[in-house]
Structure 1
Amino acid sequence: MTTAFDFTVKDINGKPQKLAKYKGKTLLIVNTASKCGFTPQYKGLQALHDKYHEQGLEVLGFPCNQFGEQEPGDESEIASFCDLNYGVNFPMFAKVDVNGDNAAPLFEHLKEEAPGLLGSKNVKWNFTKFLVTPDGKVKRFAPQDEPASLAKDIEKALG
Structure 2
Amino acid sequence: MQTPNICPNFEFVLLDNSTFHLPSTENQVILVVNTASKCGFAKQFSSLQKLYDRYHASGFTVLGVSSQSFGKQEFETACDIKTGINNKVGEINFPITELVAVRGTNIHPFYAWAATQVSLLGRPKWNFHKYLLDKTGRFVTWFASVTDPLSPKVIEAVEAELR
Distance 2:56 2:19 in 1: 22
* Residues 111-152 of structure 1: CA deviation (Å, up to 9, x unaligned): 2113342xx6x4200000001011312311000000011111
The 8 Å contact of residues 96 and 104 in structure 1, kept in 2 or not, is answered as: yes
The 8 Å contact of residues 116 and 140 in structure 1, kept in 2 or not, is answered as: no
1:28 to 16, 28, 31: 31
- What corresponds to 2:112 in structure 1? 108
How many residue pairs match? The answer is 156
The 8 Å contact of residues 34 and 81 in structure 1, kept in 2 or not, is answered as: yes
Partner amino acid for 1:156? A
Deviation, 1:6, is: 1.4
The 8 Å contact of residues 127 and 142 in structure 1, kept in 2 or not, is answered as: yes
Between Structure 1 and Structure 2, the one with more helix by share is 1
Identity %: 33
* Residues 24-71 of structure 1: CA deviation (Å, up to 9, x unaligned): 210000000011110000000000000000011110001111111111
Deviation, 1:8, is: 1.5
- What corresponds to 2:150 in structure 1? 148
Give structure 2 stretches of 5+ with no counterpart: none
Distance 1:38 1:20 in 2: 26
Q: 1:33 to 1:79 in 2, by over 3 A?
A: same
Partner amino acid for 1:107? Y
Helix, strand or coil for the counterpart of 1:138? strand
Distance 2:61 2:55 in 1: 8
Deviation beyond 6 Å, 4+ runs, structure 1: none
Distance 2:107 2:51 in 1: 27
- What corresponds to 1:91 in structure 2? 95
Deviation, 1:7, is: 1.0
Helix, strand or coil for the counterpart of 2:63? strand
Moved more, 44-53 or 63-72: 63-72
Taking only aligned residues, the RMSD between alpha carbons, in angstroms, comes to: 1.8
Give structure 1 stretches of 5+ with no counterpart: none
Helix, strand or coil for the counterpart of 2:54? helix
- What corresponds to 2:83 in structure 1? 80
